Structure 1
Amino acid sequence: MPAYLDTTPCPTPAWLPEGHSQTIFASRFSSHHRTSFVRERVDTPDGDFIDFDWTAPGFGPGASLTPPMFAQLSASAGTPAVSHNALVLFHGLEGSSASHYAQSISQYFRARGWTVVVPHFRGCSGEPNRLPRAYHSGDSADIAFMLATVRQRLPGMRWHAAGVSLGGNALLKYLGEAGSEAGWLAAAAGISAPVDLMAGGHALGTGLINRRIYTHMFLRTLKSKTLQKAQRFPGTIDVIRVATARDLYEFDDAYTAPTHGFRDVTDYWTRASSKPLLAGIAVPTLVLNARNDPFLPGRYLPGVNEASDHVVLHQPEQGGHAGFPTGHFPSNLNWLPQRLASFFRTGR
C-alpha cells in the first residue's frame, strides 16, 4: 500500500505570504513558550560525548540527572502530573535545545506531562566535541546511539521521536535502515526534512535570499567551529578550502564529506538522503514538509509511491522551513506541536 498524503493547510497569516517570510519570521519574531532543561553528558564509544537536555514535570533547574532521578521519574509516570509518554527531539543544522522549534515543541509536550529530551549533535551544545569529526545530515549511527541511550534511561516510557530539518533527515534515514528493529518507538516524525540533499543543497546555493541569509548564517558558525578544530588537529582539515567555501556545496566537499567517510560532496548528499529509504520505514511516521519551503522546493518532495504504508506525507502549501507560523501579529508557533500531538495520538 502507498503512503497516505495529507494536504490539509497550515493557516499561515496573510501578512506572511510566502516561504521566506514564514521561515524568517517564525525563527526570529513569532511568540512561543519557553522551557528550561537539565543537561546530561554521555560519552560515546569512539571517545567523544553527546549532551542530552532533559525536561519533564519535576525536572527543574539545578536538578542532578542521576540514576535515582530517572528512577523517580519512571516510577511517577502515569500520575496526573507525569505521562507515560516521552519524546526525543533531534534539532537541525547548527541548532540546539534553544532553537525556536525545540523550545515550542518541548514546552508544549512538557506542559502535558511528557518527558522530552533534546540530544545535541556533536559540537552543537555550546562546547567543542573531542574529535576532528562533527555531525552530518545522514548520521544515522549517532541517531541510533542517542535513541538507545534515552531508551536505557527510561525503559518504561512510551517513546516517540521527531527530528527537524537535518535532524529530521537523519532520523528518517535511521528509520528506513532499521525497519522493524525501530518498532519499540510508538511513532516518529520528520519535520521540514531535506529528504533529497542534492536538491536541497543546490536550492540553498541559489538565489539572493538563500545565499545571503540562510547560507551565510550556516557558514558563519560552521566555518568558525571547523577552523577551530583545525587548530586542535593540525593536518586533518583543508583549512584553505574551508575558509574560502562560498556555499554548503563547497563546505561539505571540503570538510563534511571527507571527514565523515564520503568520497566527495556528491557521494555525501546522495548516500545521506533519506528519500530513497522512506519505503523501508516500519514505524508510524509523519513526514511534514511545506511545499513552499525555501530549503527544499516542493517538486522534490516524496510522493505516495516512494514511502511505506506506515508513512503519512503531510505537504501543506504554506509554512516555510521549520516555521509554520499562525495567528495574529506577531504570530505564534502553536500549530506545529499541535500537529505532532495529533499524529502521535491518531496516526493521521
Structure 2
Amino acid sequence: MDQTSPGDMNFTPDAATHFMPPRALRNPHLQTVLPRLVRRRLLLRPHWQRLDLPDGDFIDLAWSEDPQQASHKPRVVLFHGLEGNFHSPYAHGLMHACQRQGWLGVVMHFRGCGGEPNRLHRIYHSGETEDAAFFLRWLKTRWGDAPTAAVGVSLGGNMLGCLLGRLGETAPLDAGVIVSAPLLLEPCSLKLEQGFSRFYQRYLLDQLKKNAERKLRAWPGTLPVDLLQLKALRRLRDFDDAITARAHGFLNAGDYYRRASAMPLLKNVRKPLLIIHAKDDPFMTDEVIPQPEQLSATTLYQLTPYGGHVGFVGGTLRQPQMWLEQRVPHWLTQWLAT
C-alpha cells in the first residue's frame, strides 16, 4: 500500500507497473473516448440536493445515497471536469466504486452544471475554489465529523490542486486525488488547437456554448456577451477571453491561465495527495508533468505511459476494466478506513 509522509518525496516518473493496457487499447484517443462507449448506463441512482450559497446562488449535489442515512460513513467528494456532471462516466463510475467500499460519495456540481443555469454573473473556472471550500466546511457542519477525501478530475483536479495548495494544513480534507488535470492551463489551451486534439476543443466549446446559451435565455444579461457574440466564438481561448476572464475579474484569457493554474501551488500542499497523469493525454503536453521540486513531500505522483484523458481503460474491448475505479479507492483506503 502506498504511503506518504512529510519527510519523503514520493515521485514516480514512470509508473508503468500500475497501469498497462493491452496493445489494442494503447491509442490515446481510444482511451479517452472508450469510457463513454462502455459506460452508457448509470451504475447507481443518485440522491439529489440543492445547496444555497452565501451570495444567493446555488450548487447541485448528487449523493451516492441519502446522506441522512449515511452521515456516519467516510466521505468522498468528486469535483468534475469542464461541463461534466454526475452522468459523466468517470463520475458515476467512481461514485459506484466508493459505494462498494462502504463510503458516502457526492458529486459537487459547479455552478450551472447540475442541469439548471445558475442565477448570478459568476460561473466556475479552473481556479475558483470558494464554492468547494464552502461546501467542504458545510459538509462537516451539516453532517458532523467523518474521514473525508476529494477526487478532482481534469478541470476539477486543477481546482482541487489550487484549493489544497492555498489552504495547506487548513484544507478541510484528509486526502485528495487529482486525475488528468491541466496543471498549467496555457500549454493545454494551445495543445487543444493542434492536430486531432481540435476534436476535443470543438466538443468542449459546443458544450460550453450550449450551457451559456441556456443561461442567457434564463437569466438575460448575466454573461458579458450576447447570443450573437457567443455563437461567434471559435476556440476555447475565445470563450475564456470573452466570458471566463471577464466574469471573474481577469484581464484576459492569458491572465486567467496564469493565475488559475495549480502547478505553482502544489509545493504548498500539506495533505496526502495522489496525482495521476497519462503521458499520452491528448489534452496536455510535457509541460504539465511536474518536476520533483514542484511537489510537496506529501504528494505521490503517478505517470503512466498510456491512459489518454480520464481514460485508463484496461482489460479487453469485450471486457473493459476501469482502472481508476480500482486505483483511487485502493489509495484512499489509507485515510478512509474505519
Q: TM-score, normalised on structure 1? A: 0.88
The alpha carbon displacement at 1:36 in A equals 1.3
- Residue by residue over 1:261-318, the C-alpha shift from the partner in whole angstroms, topping out at 9 and shown as x without a partner, is 1110000011000000000000000011111111112343111110100111111111
Q: TM-score, normalised on structure 2? A: 0.90
Match of 1:187 among 175, 180, 200: 175
Partner residue in 1 for 2:204:
218
Q: Counterpart amino acid of 1:87?
A: V
Moved more, 220-229 or 27-36: 27-36
Match of 2:302 among 298, 314, 322: 314
Match of 1:238 among 225, 234, 243: 225
Q: Counterpart amino acid of 1:329?
A: L
Partner residue in 2 for 1:81:
none
Asked if the contact 2:42–2:87 (Cα under 8 Å) also holds between the matched residues in 1, the reply is: no
The alpha carbon displacement at 1:346 in A equals 4.3
Q: Counterpart amino acid of 1:17?
A: R
Asked if the contact 2:191–2:284 (Cα under 8 Å) also holds between the matched residues in 1, the reply is: yes
Alignment of 1:32-51 (within 5 A): 34-51=43-60
Moved more, 338-347 or 185-194: 338-347
C-alpha separation in 2, matches of 1:198 and 1:164: 18
Distance 1:203 1:36, change over 3 A: same
Asked if the contact 1:180–1:282 (Cα under 8 Å) also holds between the matched residues in 2, the reply is: yes
Partner residue in 2 for 1:20:
29
Q: Counterpart amino acid of 1:119?
A: M
C-alpha separation in 1, matches of 2:290 and 2:58: 34
The alpha carbon displacement at 1:30 in A equals 5.6
1:289 partner SS: strand
Distance 1:346 1:98, change over 3 A: same
Distance 1:32 1:346, change over 3 A: farther
Match of 2:246 among 258, 282, 286: 258
Match of 2:15 among 5, 8, 12: 8
Partner residue in 1 for 2:85:
96
Partner residue in 2 for 1:153:
142
Q: Counterpart amino acid of 1:73?
A: A
Moved more, 253-262 or 30-39: 30-39
Distance 1:111 1:154, change over 3 A: same
C-alpha separation in 2, matches of 1:250 and 1:142: 25
Distance 1:311 1:202, change over 3 A: same
Partner residue in 1 for 2:4:
none
Are 1:197 and 2:185 an aligned pair?
yes
The alpha carbon displacement at 1:339 in A equals 1.1
- Could you list the structure 1 runs, at least 4 aligned residues long, displaced by more than 6 angstroms after superposition: none
Partner residue in 2 for 1:287:
275
The alpha carbon displacement at 1:326 in A equals 0.5
Q: Counterpart amino acid of 2:59?
A: I
Asked if the contact 1:186–1:283 (Cα under 8 Å) also holds between the matched residues in 2, the reply is: yes
- Residue by residue over 1:169-222, the C-alpha shift from the partner in whole angstroms, topping out at 9 and shown as x without a partner, is 00110000000001x422101110110001111111211x211x2111111121
Moved more, 234-243 or 115-124: 234-243
1:326 partner SS: strand
C-alpha separation in 1, matches of 2:77 and 2:332: 13
Distance 1:235 1:328, change over 3 A: closer
Q: Counterpart amino acid of 1:112?
A: Q
- Residue by residue over 1:143-184, the C-alpha shift from the partner in whole angstroms, topping out at 9 and shown as x without a partner, is 2112122222322211011110001100110000000001x4
Across the aligned residues of Structure 1 and Structure 2, the Cα RMSD in angstroms comes to 1.9
- Residue by residue over 1:54-113, the C-alpha shift from the partner in whole angstroms, topping out at 9 and shown as x without a partner, is 114xx3xxxxxxxxx62x433xx4xxxxxx321001110010011100111110110121
Distance 1:33 1:331, change over 3 A: farther
Partner residue in 2 for 1:65:
none
Q: List gaps (5 residues or longer) in structure 1.
A: 60-68, 78-83
Asked if the contact 2:25–2:314 (Cα under 8 Å) also holds between the matched residues in 1, the reply is: no
1:189 partner SS: strand
C-alpha separation in 1, matches of 2:139 and 2:301: 27
The alpha carbon displacement at 1:236 in A equals 4.6
Partner residue in 2 for 1:63:
none
C-alpha separation in 1, matches of 2:323 and 2:279: 16
The alpha carbon displacement at 1:252 in A equals 0.5
Moved more, 338-347 or 40-49: 338-347
1:133 partner SS: coil
Are 1:118 and 2:120 an aligned pair?
no
C-alpha separation in 1, matches of 2:40 and 2:234: 33
Q: List gaps (5 residues or longer) in structure 2.
A: 1-6
C-alpha separation in 1, matches of 2:168 and 2:307: 30
How many residue pairs get matched? 324
